[in-house]
Amino acid sequence: MTSATQWSVSTAASVLLDAETSRADRGPITADWPGLDLSTAYDVQAELIARKVAAGQHIVGVKLGLTSRAKQLRMGVDSPLTAWLTDAMSLPIGVPLDTSELIHPRVEPEIVFVLGRELSGPGITAAQAMESVDAVYAGLEVIDSRYTDFKFTLPDVVADNASSARFVIGGLKRRPAELDLALEACVLQVDGAVVDTATGAAVEGHPAEALALAANALGRRGVVLRAGWTVLTGGLTDAVFIRPGQQVSAEFTHLGTVTLGAE
């Protein structure tokens, strides 16, 4: 095991990428590197994504993690976080999830924004954030922590790019003005059985608050959200495991239904 004196941003990024590539989970990095704080964890996340981009992937957006109280309670943390989406994470509608590529995938329903123009924080309000949104979709995110049993501290999960793995976006496009996103309801089903329900208010009270949070947090690090980017605003419910042969679907009031099967 790497000793505390040997750990660095580069080392941590390598360890996490190796775990993802080999599909072998591990204990939290903070157990071996107690000095990993939140700021350094975001440096690890940036290094990890930079390596993926250097390998040919492209950044297509951002995601919010742990925005719902259900998720925070489930993971034993008390604040949301930001992370990155790349094109390699995107699954077309109807394409099954290949679970052999992942460690222990879970799925959660999301309200998804596509930006029509740049959004630059800090100082952005929820109302200002919504002005940048071109379209709203239903979505499912597949998370796949590189940590055993999804047990980690906030710096651990930030370094691991918020457990990002895959995502799928529904085919029904809505304009923001057509929706009351705080009241937009979602029913999550596994193989046709209802396992959870929620509304958009589960995400920071309103998904626009999550978008503003992302713009402001990234803005403080000198990052601008780009036009055309996808934003996953955060899991509405606790995530559910998905196994080969299963099908997970999220049925929304006005955003339609998005479904993901696994093989």
Tens place of pLDDT per residue across the chain (263 aa): 555 559 999 999 999 999 999 999 999 999 999 999 999 999 999 999 999 999 999 999 999 987 766 666 766 665 679 999 999 999 999 999 999 999 999 999 999 999 999 999 999 999 999 999 999 999 999 999 999 999 998 899 999 999 999 999 999 999 999 999 999 999 999 999 999 999 999 998 999 999 998 999 899 999 999 999 999 999 999 899 999 999 999 999 999 999 999 99
The residue assigned the tokens 């000198």 is 222
Determine which helix (DSSP H) or strand (DSSP E) holds 199, and give its type and residue range.
strand 193-199
Residue type, position 151, single letter: K
Q: How far lies 69's CA from each of 1, 116, 155, 230, in Å?
A: 34, 29, 18, 23
Residue type, position 23, single letter: R
Strands of the sheet with 247-252, listed across from one edge: 193-199, 185-190, 247-252, 257-261
What are the chain's domains? 9-262 (3.90.850.10)
Cβ(48)–Cβ(158) below 8 Å? no
247-252/185-190 β-pairing: antiparallel
Global pTM reads 0.93
Q: How far lies 249's CA from each of 77, 101, 106, 124, in Å?
A: 27, 21, 13, 33
Cβ(211)–Cβ(133) below 8 Å? yes
The residue assigned the tokens 């780009």 is 226
The residue assigned the tokens 């925005």 is 67
Cβ(149)–Cβ(169) below 8 Å? no
3-state percent breakdown (helix, strand, coil) of the chain, nearest 5: 35, 30, 35
Cβ(173)–Cβ(128) below 8 Å? no
DSSP H stretches of helix in 144-247: 154-159, 207-219
DSSP summary character for residue 211: H
DSSP H stretches of helix in the chain: 9-22, 38-54, 69-75, 126-131, 154-159, 207-219
What is the 3 state secondary structure string of 119-134? ECCCCCCHHHHHHCEE
